[in-house]
A and B are shown apart, each in its own frame.
Chain A
């Protein structure tokens, strides 16, 4: 005798709520809402993006390539990749560690720590840059000591990397804290009780559970690391071919009326943003089945 009961116990509630008949707006209201949204998207997002690319190719494909292959442009691209290449892995490790501590444990000062992690979001990037100038600049706190040992941080690559790390460090942690909080510790406890070591538990249970969130945090972190202007601008010193990142290089070109070249480099950053969005969409699409699949129509078969 098979009892056909559909069990919903323990099912992860679907995050998407469909409007019921009672909450559906009238046709006119819906069209107005959609219209406003599309209008603003077109005006503030799509139009500028189109202009970036049309300006970039204004003088033809040859000029576009030439402005990208210019030594200063190449140096800027290299420096941007370097800064992001250092900042993102460091923030990945920091973000996972911080989120683990904040999401899984209760301790005094926890909310203060979360607030501190958010600091780079709430502080103006210019201030973030100035902090490093005040710390490591010639007149700064550690300036004399650094000068004596012939170390340069401000107006050099280390300063740019530091500023980039500072402005991007909330991304990964912010993404993971709610995930860790929601998951609790039961799966880890189960793994430990089954004989797994701490590292085995982390790599086989905790990490796979957060991988999509982690990846999402990393791409946001990366996008910001490559696109950061304010903080980097303060510490960079704008030395062409040496301390200019892509955003700074774009500014210089623009100020020198080399519009086509400026937009050519800008188009690279815009492409990065578009690629980020595509990756993000793919991740969200891939991550959904893991959490939303239900035991739809699953009969509980009779147990002997």
Chain B
């Protein structure tokens, strides 16, 4: 089922959570709403779900207006950030809940419900834990039960609010790959909210980057990462060095002169040289080296006194034999320039 949010505006008191937001989600896609906290992504998700109502604007499901329908009528599956499992029910009862509360004439028989729940337990690989209570499960297990519970009612749309937000790093990685796989199998239109750019880029078909109640850019992970349309998107999707200045002549390409241009360089797109190579470069002094991890992270101070982050490979680091307080030349391989009027 496709989802269309048109001109959604939502205010909480003085605070504008969403400002004229438009978002179209084609049927069967897995879309990430990505943004910092307070950017309105969860509010947008809750409005799509019918758990919250917009001050103005419409929500269409497959072209049909659902703006005034409640969550109950919209047939959405919603997975809450903190799972919201029914704590007094077992895993089995939690998953069966949505089927059991149906009106008598559309309620499946006991056997059908049991079959459906077992099928879902199989899917989330928790078959042997069906009689446990939520408090007896680990975070990752709870998350999967919450997902199975949402899927049990065969929703037309699956909405997930920070689905991996409260899990530790390792389980997070496993679960998000699993979610991607699940979506490839089930193919249900899904929207998930996240503040983690890696998560959004890895899992989703498309990413909507949100900031201060507005959508900054919508596109495939590739598009938003490589062709950001605003400084915010570029900034949010990876580490950056920001220089207020302009692309200057050959020798000093990034000057700290206020000419109204913003120059961004990602840390791994800066090269370190011992000698000027004739192209664009600037001088810097190494202040801190962190070599734990796949890349060596170096903090340096530019000749005009601005801090700059550089990431180089371990191999390169060994070759250069860099030391603290050493003076080096930094060469930007690729820069991204935004004119101030864009912001």
Contact = CB atoms under 8 A, between A and B. Distances in A.
Nearest to A294: B135
Interface string B69-82: 01110011110101
Contacts of A62: none
B290 interface: no
A187 B135 contact: no
Interface residues of A, number: 38
A186 B84 CA distance: 5
Contact of B136 (A193, A208, A298): A298
B289 interface: no
B317 interface: no
Contacts of B75: 195
A197 B104 CA distance: 13
B149 to A, nearest CB: 7
A95 B88 CA distance: 22
A7 B171 contact: yes
B141 A300 contact: yes
A7 B168 contact: yes
B46 to A, nearest CB: 9
B133 A193 contact: no
B310 interface: no
A12 to B, nearest CB: 6
B33 to A, nearest CB: 18
B313 to A, nearest CB: 28
B101 A187 contact: no
A301 B125 contact: yes
Interface in B102-144: 102, 125, 133, 135-142, 144
Contacts of A191: 86, 97, 101
Given A196-B72, A304-B125, A295 B78 contact: no
Nearest to B76: A193
Interface string B146-171: 00011011000000000000111011
Contact of B86 (A187, A292, A295): A187
B136 A295 contact: yes
Given A3-B170, A193-B72, A193-B76, A291 B101 contact: no
B87 interface: yes
A205 B83 contact: no
A196 to B, nearest CB: 4
B153 A194 contact: yes
A23 interface: no
A15 to B, nearest CB: 13
Nearest to A297: B138
A291 B88 CA distance: 9
Given A189-B51, A194-B149, A300-B138, A9 B167 contact: yes
B137 A195 contact: no
A303 interface: yes
Interface in A1-58: 3, 5-12
A276 interface: no
Interface in B24-54: 49-51
B168 A204 contact: no
Contacts of A200: 101
Nearest to B81: A186
Given A10-B83, A209-B88, A298-B136, A192 B71 contact: yes
A200 B101 CA distance: 7
Contacts of A293: 133, 135-136
Nearest to A188: B84
A109 B83 CA distance: 32
A255 interface: no
A295 B133 contact: no
Contacts of B167: 7, 9
Contacts of A205: 86
A303 B175 contact: yes
Given A9-B168, A302-B174, A303-B174, 15 more contacts: A7-B139, A9-B166, A186-B84, A187-B85, A189-B80, A191-B86, A192-B70, A196-B101, A290-B87, A290-B88, A291-B87, A295-B135, A298-B137, A299-B138, A304-B178
Interface of B: 49-51, 70-72, 75-78, 80, 82-89, 97-98, 101-102, 125, 133, 135-142, 144, 149-150, 152-153, 166-168, 170-171, 174-175, 177-178, 181
Interface of A: 3, 5-12, 186-187, 189-197, 200, 204-205, 208-209, 290-295, 298-304
- A-B complex: 5 closest residue pairs judged by Cβ atoms: A9-B139, A7-B138, A194-B98, A186-B84, A196-B101
13 contacts: A12-B135, A187-B86, A189-B51, A189-B71, A190-B78, A190-B84, A190-B86, A193-B72, A204-B97, A208-B86, A209-B87, A290-B87, A295-B141
